[in-house]
A and B are shown apart, each in its own frame.
Chain A
Amino acid sequence: MKKIANVIISIVILLVLSSCATMKAVPKDRAIAKFIELYNSGDTVRMTEMTSIPMLIDGEIVARNTDADFFWNSLAKAGFTLDGSESFTVEPLGANSSLVFGDTMEVGTFFAKYVPETAVLVRVKGPVGDFILLLSGRKGPYPFIFGFTGPLL
Chain B
Amino acid sequence: MKKIFLIIFIAIIAITTYGQNTSLVYVDGWVDIRSAGELFEAFPGDSLRAGDSVITGSDSYAELEQKNLSSIFVEPDSIFTIREMEGSSGKETVLSTTVGSVSFKFGKLFGIEPIIATPSMVAGIRGTELTVYAGEDGSTLIAVDSGLVTVESQGVSVDLVKDEGVEVLPGEVPGEKFSLLGREMDFASWNAEKYESLIADPETGLKHMGNQLDGFITEIVILDNLLTELKMEKEYIKKEWQKILDEQGKEQGKAFFNKNVHPLDLKTGPLFLNIRYYSLSSLSFRRFILGGLYLDMKARYIMDVNNNEYQKFLSMYEDVMNSFEESVVPFLDANDI
Contacts and interface: CB of A to CB of B under 8 A. Distances in A.
B287 A63 contact: yes
A65 B292 CA distance: 12
A133 B202 CA distance: 27
Interface string A106-126: 100110110000000000000
Q: Could you say which of A64, A105, A127 has the most chain B C-beta atoms within 10 Å of its C-beta?
A: A64
Interface string B263-306: 00000000000000000000000011001101110111011110
B332 A105 contact: yes
B295 A70 contact: yes
A80 B303 contact: yes
A74 B305 contact: no
Nearest to A69: B58
Interface residues of A, number: 33
Contacts of A75: 299, 302
A151 B305 contact: yes
Interface string A78-117: 1110000000000000000000000011100110110000
Contacts, number: 75
Interface size class of B (residues with CB under 8 A): 20 to 34
A60 B305 contact: no
A109 to B, nearest CB: 4
A39 to B, nearest CB: 13
B303 A112 contact: no
B226 interface: no
Contact of B57 (A58, A66, A71): A66
Q: Could you say which of B77, B296, B303 has the most chain A C-beta atoms within 10 Å of its C-beta?
A: B303
A62 to B, nearest CB: 7
19 contacts: A54-B39, A58-B294, A60-B291, A60-B295, A61-B291, A61-B337, A63-B34, A63-B288, A64-B55, A65-B57, A67-B288, A71-B299, A74-B299, A79-B303, A80-B299, A113-B334, A128-B302, A129-B305, A151-B305
Interface of A: 53-54, 57-67, 69-71, 74-75, 77-80, 104-106, 109-110, 112-113, 127-129, 151
Interface of B: 34, 37, 39, 55, 57-58, 77, 79, 287-288, 291-292, 294-296, 298-300, 302-305, 321, 325, 329, 332, 334, 337
